[in-house]
Amino acid sequence: MTDIQTYSGPQRILSGMQPTGGLHLGNYLGALVNWVKLQESGAECFYCVVDMHAITMPHAAAELPDKVRGAAAAYIASGVDPEKSAVFAQSAVPAHAELAWIFQCVARLGWLERMTQFKDKAGKDKERASVGLFTYPVLQAADILVYKATHVPVGEDQKQHLELSRDIAARFMRDYDCEGFFPLPDPYIQGAGTRIMSLKDGSKKMSKSDPSDLSRINLSDDADTIARKIKKAKTDPEPLPGSLEDMGDRPEALNLVGIYAALEGSTAEKVISEFGGQGFGAFKPKLAELAVERLSPVANEYARLIADPAEMDRILTKGAERARAIADPVIKEVKARVGFWG
């Protein structure tokens, strides 16, 4: 599957999410559904909660452990099976941080200066952003490569970070003369939900940082809340067109069609062929019905899991042990190649 011929290790999947705020429909359709799909592929899967990335922005320390439990619970409620896949907190595997430092000395300043997520998150006053926010994508590369992951299921917004991970891997292998040591990880960006937009503004990504809760569907929302948010979603007065080409510049309409397609596991073309000619008064209730059908079991399982923090801790501890068993020998070899003691 991977395009690096010289890498001959096992196929491995790694991905992660920030535990800042609850997870939402974008996280679910853009990434989690593919995590579950890849879990069934026979490859080893590592799904971490990236709490080290979470502290690149101001955060409440006392709340972080519960947020990690909550994110891990959302992974499992979405279908990640902790018996099959390692579910763990990034900070529980020190090799991530060790490799991140080495990669900071491999990556070039110019590469990081091109990262659009930093520009978005730092806002106008980038002088006041943490250095960690700037080097964030280097830690992400370490997350991936410390497992020698070959495939990384993510939403479209992570594409640039994945390209950087490949550049860092290639540069490390060149600098330390070890071709084939790392795979060049492939982004796995598949399905109709790789870029879910805000329900209130079709030009903005659905995001946990949006101040309006009506802009997103949270994985913890109950059936009434989901239906209400879809009913209130921004649309236009036109009916849906007969084909996707005739959609024109209607980002909110396109987004709802995309959400329907992703929830159904089909394509926007197919949804349009089914609902073309109908107005939102007819389409929205159908979408709400489908969303509730798909997401209610996730919300129920999530509620059950977060009510049992001891069970979540057991899962996270076991996941971290499995992760360390793979990451520790990799970082040991990297350190030897770099010329470090111990």
Active-site choice (148, 205, 229, 284): 205
* Beta carbon nearer to ligand TYM, 120 or 308: 120
Instruction: Report the residue number whose CB is nearest to ligand TYM.
Output: 30
Task: Assess contact for 9 and 44: CB atoms under 8 A.
Answer: no
Q: Closest approach of Cβ 263 to ligand TYM, in Å?
A: 13
* Amino acid code (one letter) for 223: A
Vertex 236: Cα angle to 253 and 240 (nearest 5) = 50
Q: Closest approach of Cβ 15 to ligand TYM, in Å?
A: 4
Task: Assess contact for 72 and 49: CB atoms under 8 A.
Answer: yes
Q: Closest approach of Cβ 17 to ligand TYM, in Å?
A: 4
* Beta carbon nearer to ligand TYM, 186 or 222: 186
* Beta carbon nearer to ligand TYM, 14 or 168: 14
* Beta carbon nearer to ligand TYM, 152 or 243: 152
DSSP state of 24: B
How would you label 43-60 residue by residue, b for 16+ Cβ within 10 Å and e otherwise? Answer: bbbbbbbbbbbbbbbeee
Q: Which of 168, 152, 162, 145 is nearest to 96 (CA)?
A: 145
| Interface residues toward ligand TYM, by CB under 6 A | 14-18, 26-27, 30-31, 50, 53, 140, 143-144, 152, 154-155, 157-158, 161, 194-196, 205-206
Active-site choice (37, 84, 119, 121): 121
Q: Closest approach of Cβ 310 to ligand TYM, in Å?
A: 26
Active-site choice (37, 200, 208, 286): 208
Vertex 69: Cα angle to 63 and 72 (nearest 5) = 135
208 part of the active site: yes
Tell me whether residue 244 is exposed, middle or buried, using C-beta atoms within 10 angstroms of its C-beta: 0 to 12, 13 to 18, 19 or more. middle
205 part of the active site: yes
What are the catalytic residues? Answer: 121, 205, 208
